[in-house]
Amino acid sequence: PCAQDIDGLNHTNNAVYVQWCEKVGWAHSEALGLGMADYLRLDRAMAIRKAEYDYVLPSLQDEALTLGTWITASDGKLTMERRFQIVRNSDQATILRGRWDLVCIEVGSGKPRRLPPEFCQIYLPALVA
């Protein structure tokens, strides 16, 4: 965390963790082969239906952290689950655990729609049980 991430309690603001989860989630999706351009081309996206964050320990300015994310479940039709973990490098302590319940939507309407074949071909093999 840098100085701008630190709040009045002198630790990383909780909202910053949420932003980091979004960034690492996108980075993971792009590394698998699906980015925003693909979502728009397919007129489909994975939207967060529910987000949960367990703030286990605080992190302080300039502490080195590792962010991880995994796709942990999917019905192969409409939904997926993505999990997150943030670990402090110095002692391997878990700082945060998070979970998103995702639903596939049509970008143009925002309505739930079936996962397109491209999503299934890329996301389902990446599932971590």
* Span 6-23, pLDDT tens digits: 999 999 999 999 999 999
Q: Give 44-64 pLDDT, tens digit per residue.
A: 999 999 999 999 999 999 999
Q: How many domains does the chain have?
A: 1
- Residue 112: give its domain's CATH number: 3.10.129.10
Q: 107: number of CA atoms within 13 Å, CB side?
A: 11
Name the β-bridge partners of 65: 88
Residues 6+ apart with CB under 8 A from 40: 107
Q: What's the mean pLDDT when you consider all of the chain? A: 97
Residue matched to tokens 């994975």: 46
- Strand 65-74 with 79-88, pairing: antiparallel
Percent share of the chain, pLDDT over 90: 99
pLDDT of residue 31: 98
Domain assignment of residue 11, given as a range: 3-126
